C-alpha cells in the first residue's frame, strides 16, 4: 500500500504549478478543468514518482490560522547542503523561512519555508 497523491488547494493554479516546477523539478501533467464546477487541477510528478495534485476553486478563501488538515508537506532533498541551498534560493526569491535549517529534537535536519499560499514546506535530507 502507498499514498497515491496528496491534494492541495491553491489560490493561483498557474503560479503554484510554476513554483513546484521551478524549485522542486516537478513535472506537470495536462491541466484538468471541470466547467460545471469551476474546479481546475494539475497533477505534478516528482523525480521519485511521488505526486501532488494542485487544485483551484474560485470560491475558496485562505484562512491559514483556522483550518484543519495537513500541517505541512515534507520534501526530501537528499543532503544538508541541498536543504541549505534550497533555503538560500527560496529566501533570496522572497519566500518566508519560518524555522531552521536545524537539527530537530527527533533528529531531522530541516527547514520550513512558506509557499505562495502560506502552506508549510518542510525541507529535509
Percent of the chain whose pLDDT exceeds 90: 70
What pLDDT shows up at residue 62? 56
Query: Which of 3-17, 61-75, 79-93, 104-118 bottoms out in mean pLDDT, i.e. has the lowest?
Result: 61-75
As annotated, the residues of the chain forming the CATH 3.10.180.10 domain(s) are: 1-59, 71-125
Contact (CB, 8 A) for 124 and 112? no
Superfamily of domain 1-59: 2,3-Dihydroxybiphenyl 1,2-Dioxygenase, domain 1 (3.10.180.10)
What pLDDT shows up at residue 14? 97
Q: Does the pLDDT value for residue 15 go beyond 60?
A: yes
Contact (CB, 8 A) for 26 and 32? no
State the Cα torsion 42-46-48-52 to the nearest 10°.
-40
What pLDDT shows up at residue 65? 46
What pLDDT shows up at residue 66? 41
Q: Right CATH number for 71-125 from 3.10.180.10, 3.10.580.10, 3.40.50.20, 3.30.950.10?
A: 3.10.180.10
Q: Which long-range contacts (CB under 8 A, 24 or more apart) does 2-8 make?
A: 4/51, 5/43, 5/50, 5/51, 5/52, 5/53, 6/51, 6/52, 6/53, 6/70, 6/73, 7/41, 7/52, 7/53, 7/55, 8/52, 8/53, 8/54, 8/55, 8/70, 8/73, 8/119
Amino acid at each position: 500500500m502507498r499514498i497515491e497523491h496528496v491534494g492541495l488547494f491553491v489560490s493561483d493554479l498557474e503560479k503554484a504549478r510554476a513554483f513546484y516546477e521551478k524549485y522542486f523539478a516537478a513535472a506537470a501533467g495536462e491541466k484538468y478543468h471541470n466547467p460545471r464546477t469551476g474546479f481546475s487541477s494539475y497533477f505534478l510528478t516528482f523525480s521519485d514518482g511521488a505526486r501532488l495534485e494542485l487544485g483551484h476553486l474560485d470560491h475558496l478563501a485562505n484562512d491559514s490560522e483556522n483550518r484543519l488538515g495537513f500541517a505541512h508537506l515534507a520534501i526530501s532533498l537528499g543532503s544538508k547542503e541541498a536543504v541549505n541551498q534550497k533555503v538560500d534560493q527560496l529566501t533570496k526569491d522572497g519566500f518566508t523561512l519560518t524555522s531552521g535549517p536545524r537539527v530537530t529534537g527527533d533528529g531531522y535536519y530541516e527547514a520550513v519555508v512558506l509557499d505562495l499560499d502560506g502552506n508549510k514546506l518542510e525541507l529535509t535530507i
